[in-house]
C-alpha cells in the first residue's frame, strides 16, 4: 500500500507552499485561457455589427451557466473523493469514484438538455429575451447544450488529473481547447460566413478537444478510471451527491450576488455601469490565480486527509492563506502602478474612471477575503462538510452583499456599492475562517491516530473517530 501511495499521492510529502504555488499557478493558466477565449468570442461577434447577436449570446450564457454548474459540482465531487482515496492508498476505490462521477455526468448531460431544450423558448423568454434576440439565443443554445455530457467528461477528467497532482496535463487540456476555439472562431464566423453559428460550432469542437486531452492522460498515465458499472454508480451515489449537490448550490450563488451589485450600480447611470463592466474584465485577468486556488488546493487537502496526515491538512490551509496574501499584495501593487494606463486603455472618464481607480486600489486588496473564502470552501468540500461551502457562499452573496451595497450606495454612490460589497466579503471571510477552525478542531492530532486501523480516511459526513487511539 505504501508503494501505491508513493507513486500517486504526491502531496503527502514535500513543501506545502510549493505544492500550493505550483497547483495554483498552473490552474490559473487554464482559467486565463477560458477568460481570453470568452473575450475573443465576444469581440468577433461584435465585429459582425449586429447588437442582437451579442445580446443573444448573453442570454444564452445565462442559461448555460446554470446547466454548467452541475458539471462543476460533479467535478468537485470527483476531485475530492479521488484525492481522498489516493491519499488513503485505495487506488481501486479512487478509480471507482471517478468512473461513477463520469457516468453520472454523462447520464445527466444527456437527459437534462432534452428537458431544457423542450422548454428553451420559455426559459429564455423568462430571462428577458424576445424577438430576434430570442430566436438567435435559442439557436445558439441548440448548438451548445447537447454537448453538456462532453463537458461533463472533460471536467471529470481534469478533476481526476488534479487529484493525482498532475496539474500540468489538466492545464494543457484547457489550453488546447482554448487554442482550438480561438483559431476556429474567425475561420467559421468570417471566412466560412457562419456568423453566430460559427462561434457555437467552434465552442463545440473546443469542448471535444478538451475532453480528449483530459481523459486520455487520466486513463493512460494514471489509470484513473475503471470500467463503468451500474452497481458501482448506485453504491457511490450517496457519496457523490453529498458533495456535488452543495457544490452546485455554492456555484449558483455567485451570479445572484453579481445581479444584486449590477442592479444597485445601475441607479447611478451608464458611466457607473461601464466602470463595473471594465472591472468585470479586469478581475478575472488580474486574479485568476486566486480564482484557481480553490480547485488547486483541494487535492492537497484531500490526499492528506485520506492519509490522515492532519497536521499537513492544517498546514495546507495556512499555506493557501499565505499564498493568497502574498499574491494579492503583489498584484494590487501592479494594478495601482498601472491604474492610469488601464483607465486610458478603456478611454474612461468621469464615474467610469473613478471606479477603475477604486478597483486598482482598495478593492484589489479586498481580494484577500475572496481568497480566504475560496480556500475555506475547498477545505469544507474535502473534509466532508460541503454544505458549509453552500452556507458561506449564499451568505456572502445575499446577506453579505445586498444590505452592505445599499448602505454603501446611500453613503458614497457607485463607489460605495463596491466598497459595501467588499465589506460584506470581509465579514464572511472571517465567518468561513471560524468555521474551518471548528472543523479542524474535530480532526484528531497526529499522536492520537492509530496507524494500524484499517479505515484510512474519514467518512463522508466528517466523522473522525474510527482511527483515534483508545486512551
Per-residue pLDDT of the chain (471 residues; tens, 9 = 90+): 443 444 567 889 889 999 999 988 888 887 777 776 776 776 677 677 777 887 788 788 878 888 888 998 899 999 999 999 999 899 999 999 999 999 999 999 999 999 999 999 998 888 778 888 899 999 999 999 999 999 999 999 999 999 999 989 999 999 999 899 989 999 998 999 898 899 999 999 999 999 999 999 999 999 999 999 999 999 999 999 999 999 888 888 888 888 788 788 888 887 887 888 778 778 888 888 888 888 889 899 999 999 889 999 999 999 999 999 999 999 999 999 999 998 887 777 888 899 999 999 889 999 999 999 999 999 999 998 999 999 999 999 999 999 999 999 999 999 999 999 999 999 999 999 999 999 999 887 766 555 554 444 444 444 444 444 443
Compute and round to an integer the Cα radius of gyration of the chain: 22
Cα–Cα distance measured from residue 276 to residue 414, given in angstroms and rounded to the nearest whole number: 9
pTM: 0.82
Where b means 16+ CB within 10 Å and e means fewer, 196-218 reads bbbbbbbbbbbbbbbbbbbbebb
For 468, list phi and psi in degrees, rounded to 5.
Answer: -80, 135
Q: How many residues does the chain have?
A: 471
Cα–Cα distance measured from residue 86 to residue 93, given in angstroms and rounded to the nearest whole number: 8
3 CB-contact burial (10 Å; exposed 0-12 / middle 13-18 / buried 19+): exposed
CA 406: distance to chain centroid?
Answer: 28
Strand, helix or coil for residue 468: strand
Instruction: Judge whether 458 and 304 are in contact, CB under 8 Å.
Output: no
State the virtual CA torsion across 321, 323, 326, 331 in degrees, nearest 10. -110
253 backbone φψ class: left, alpha, beta (φ>0; ψ -120 to 50): alpha
**H-helix segments, 307-401:** 310-337, 339-345, 350-358, 364-365, 367-382, 386-397
Amino acid at each position: 500500500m505504501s508503494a501505491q501511495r508513493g507513486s500517486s499521492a504526491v502531496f503527502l510529502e514535500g513543501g506545502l507552499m510549493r505544492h500550493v504555488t505550483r497547483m495554483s499557478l498552473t490552474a490559473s493558466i487554464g482559467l486565463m485561457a477560458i477568460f481570453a477565449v470568452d473575450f475573443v468570442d465576444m469581440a468577433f461577434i461584435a465585429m459582425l455589427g449586429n447588437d442582437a447577436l451579442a445580446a443573444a449570446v448573453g442570454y444564452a450564457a445565462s442559461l448555460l451557466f446554470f446547466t454548467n454548474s452541475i458539471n462543476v459540482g460533479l467535478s468537485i465531487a470527483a476531485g475530492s473523493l479521488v484525492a481522498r482515496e489516493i491519499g488513503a492508498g485505495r487506488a481501486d476505490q479512487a478509480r471507482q469514484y471517478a468512473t461513477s462521477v463520469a457516468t453520472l455526468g454523462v447520464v445527466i448531460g444527456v437527459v437534462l438538455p432534452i428537458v431544457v431544450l423542450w422548454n428553451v423558448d420559455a426559459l429564455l423568454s423568462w430571462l428577458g429575451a424576445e424577438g430576434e434576440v430570442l430566436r438567435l439565443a435559442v439557436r445558439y443554445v441548440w448548438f451548445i447544450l447537447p454537448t453538456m455530457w462532453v463537458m461533463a467528461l472533460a471536467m471529470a477528467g481534469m478533476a481526476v488529473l488534479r487529484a493525482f497532482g498532475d496539474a500540468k496535463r489538466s492545464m494543457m487540456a484547457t489550453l488546447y481547447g482554448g487554442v482550438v476555439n480561438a483559431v476556429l472562431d474567425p475561420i467559421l464566423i468570417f471566412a466560412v460566413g457562419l456568423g453566430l453559428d460559427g462561434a457555437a460550432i467552434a465552442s463545440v469542437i473546443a469542448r471535444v478537444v478538451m475532453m480528449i486531452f483530459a481523459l486520455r492522460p487520466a486513463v493512460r498515465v494514471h489509470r484513473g478510471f475503471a470500467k463503468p458499472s451500474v452497481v458501482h454508480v448506485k453504491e457511490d451515489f450517496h457519496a457523490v451527491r453529498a458533495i456535488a449537490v452543495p457544490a452546485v448550490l455554492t456555484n449558483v450563488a455567485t451570479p445572484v450576488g453579481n445581479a444584486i451589485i449590477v442592479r444597485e450600480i445601475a441607479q447611478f447611470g451608464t458611466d457607473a455601469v461601464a466602470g463595473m463592466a471594465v472591472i468585470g474584465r479586469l478581475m478575472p485577468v488580474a486574479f485568476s490565480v486566486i480564482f484557481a486556488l480553490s480547485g488547486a488546493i483541494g487535492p492537497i487537502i484531500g490526499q492528506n486527509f485520506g492519509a490522515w496526515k492532519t497536521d499537513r491538512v492544517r498546514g495546507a490551509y495556512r499555506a493557501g492563506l499565505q499564498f493568497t496574501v502574498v499574491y494579492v499584495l503583489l498584484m494590487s501593487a501592479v494594478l495601482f502602478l498601472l491604474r492610469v494606463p488601464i483607465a486610458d486603455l478603456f478611454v474612461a472618464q468621469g464615474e467610469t474612471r473613478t471606479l477603475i481607480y477604486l478597483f486598482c486600489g482598495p478593492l484589489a486588496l479586498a481580494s484577500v477575503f475572496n481568497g480566504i473564502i475560496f480556500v475555506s470552501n475547498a477545505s469544507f468540500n474535502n473534509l466532508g462538510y460541503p454544505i458549509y461551502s453552500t452556507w458561506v457562499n449564499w451568505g456572502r452573496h445575499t446577506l453579505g452583499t445586498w444590505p452592505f451595497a445599499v448602505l454603501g450606495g446611500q453613503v458614497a454612490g457607485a463607489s460605495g456599492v463596491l466598497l459595501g460589497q467588499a465589506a460584506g466579503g470581509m465579514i464572511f471571510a472571517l465567518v468561513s475562517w471560524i468555521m474551518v477552525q471548528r472543523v479542524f478542531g474535530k480532526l484528531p492530532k497526529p499522536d492520537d491516530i492509530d496507524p494500524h486501523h484499517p479505515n484510512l480516511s474519514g467518512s463522508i459526513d466528517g466523522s473522525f473517530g474510527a482511527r483515534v487511539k483508545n486512551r
